[in-house]
Amino acid sequence: MLTAPTGLTPLAAEDILSLAERAYRRLRDAIADGSLPAGERISERSLAQSLGISAQPVREALRRLEAEGMVVTLPRRGTLVAEFGPRQLAEMGLIRVALEGTTASLAARHATAGDITELLALLRAMRPLLRANDIVALAEANERFHGHIDGLAGNAFLQRSLDALRAYDHFARLRALRSTPQEPRRAWREHAAILSAIRRRDPGQAEARMRAHVRRSLEASGILDALNT
């Protein structure tokens, strides 16, 4: 019997993370970056074999992916990779618009002076990256900025949801940053505007600006086009 046609290599025994966690991340990223195409049949057993582990952790990873909608399993028949393309990215994008808006609003309510100082530092740290046009580092800095605001919101469920979303549209955002050369600077200015609203303790404006920012960046990368059919 041949191994499963997934190009997944066995897991390295280096990390302290559980095998299930590692299998989950591996599969999640493979789906997110498109290397696991939709419709691909996944067998717990053969996948376990190609990862060099037993079927249990694999199964756990699959159930987790199923809960997130990235995989659908027909009882006693098989598990398939769900569709994950422009349409799904757009759907996730709309959720991010709503949730990050709430996050900004809450951050404007709860942020301390120290928090705002940290956000300013994050913003300032992006400037040299802008000059150098280091896309990968910029994407990380962006995610750090947004993630920090998420933390200030003080809503554990909100933060959890956004973390999960970010894992999936990470690759799409990278592509978007590369495709439109003026996007990084524009995003930076919008970040600064959001931060000034937070600093002013204006939840309404913080939310409005955040929503506009996320939505505009989605439009700039053409992601929302997938919904205007």
Interface pattern 162-201 for DNA (x via CB under 7 A): ----------------------------------------
CA distance 42 to 87: 22
The side-by-side arrangement of strands in the sheet containing 78-81 is 41-42, 78-81, 71-74
| Radius of gyration, CA atoms only, the chain | 20
Sole binder of DNA in the list 57, 93, 184, 203 (CB under 7 A): 57
> Do 19 and 47 form a contact (C-beta atoms < 8 A)?
no
Sole binder of DNA in the list 7, 14, 39, 75 (CB under 7 A): 75
Encoding tokens for residue 49?
């074999």
| Ramachandran sector of residue 34 (left: φ over 0; alpha: ψ -120 to 50; beta: rest) | left
**Does 79 participate in binding a second copy (rule CB under 8 A)?**
no
Strand partners, 81: 71
What is the total count of residues that contact a second copy (CB under 8 A)?
Answer: 31
Pick the closer one to a second copy by CB: 64 or 148: 64
What is the total count of residues that contact DNA (CB under 7 A)?
Answer: 24
Footprint of a second copy on this chain (CB under 8 A)? 13, 16, 18, 20, 56, 59-60, 63-64, 67-69, 74-75, 88, 91-92, 94-95, 97-99, 101-102, 106, 155-158, 160-161
